[in-house]
A and B are shown apart, each in its own frame.
Chain A
Amino acid sequence: MMRSIPPRLRTPLITLVGGAVCAAVAVAAYGWGSLLHLGPVTILGPALYYVWGGRNSDSAAMIRYQVDERQAYRQLKILALVGRVMGGGAVVAYLVAFAAKATLWPFAIFLALFGVATLAGWVIYRERGDGRDDSPGSPHSWLTSGQ
């Protein structure tokens, strides 16, 4: 589906749909007045992404989902940093909430997500035979016996 959308419109459209969903939730919960705050952000965000996506830069390539291998690697490093900060933040936030005797479950959800995502990443991106001695005669030689 993503491929059928022109590259420059991909992130703006995703942002627009996400913003519209947030705006709908806000209207349902707080009434039409909430659109005064969310409306401009919902419209300006995608517009900014569209303008920025036309540039010749790494960030623009990421916005267009047209990254080459260096940009993909850079994006991965950025995501890894975000993950570390968010994971650390979840732990700190839980401890602060625990110390302040505040409601814990929202922080516990983020902690659990952190753990589940780590486990899922470990399973999804596992490599067959990783770290095992697969030389002939070793217990794991079956890993390469078919080659």
Chain B
Amino acid sequence: MRNRVREQRTHRGLSQAELAAALGVSRQTVISIENGRYLPSLPLAFRIARFFDLAVDKMFDPDDEETAT
């Protein structure tokens, strides 16, 4: 599962800590999600997508099955 979290975050000039604070998770979790090591739960995936004003399927690409939790 690939995602566009890092791309969107850097596009908006946010640090990982700032994004983590906005989402209510730890900085380590943002790093894990960006690296594809952790697949967020549905509620968190929706929070991330809403934060970036994107649909969940635009934020997370299920076609790439390289990584999994």
Whether A associates with B in a native complex is yes
Spell out A's residues near B (CB within 8 Å): 56-58, 61, 68-71, 73
Is B8 an interface residue when CB atoms closer than 8 A count as contact?
Answer: no
Per the bound structure, the CA–CA distance linking A23 and B45 in Å amounts to 47
Spell out B's residues near A (CB within 8 Å): 24-29, 32-33, 38, 40-41, 44, 69
Nearest to B43 among chain A residues (CB) is A69
**A70 to B32, Cβ gap below 8 A?**
yes
Nearest to B33 among chain A residues (CB) is A70
Per the bound structure, the CA–CA distance linking A69 and B20 in Å amounts to 12
Per the bound structure, the CA–CA distance linking A61 and B27 in Å amounts to 11
- Which residues of B are found within 8 Å of A58, using beta-carbon distances? 26, 28
Provide the main secondary structure of the chain A interface: helix
**A68 to B25, Cβ gap below 8 A?**
yes
**A68 to B24, Cβ gap below 8 A?**
yes
Per the bound structure, the CA–CA distance linking A96 and B32 in Å amounts to 43
**A69 to B28, Cβ gap below 8 A?**
no
Nearest to B17 among chain A residues (CB) is A56
**A69 to B40, Cβ gap below 8 A?**
yes
* Nearest-Cβ distance from residue A35 to partner chain B, whole angstroms: 39
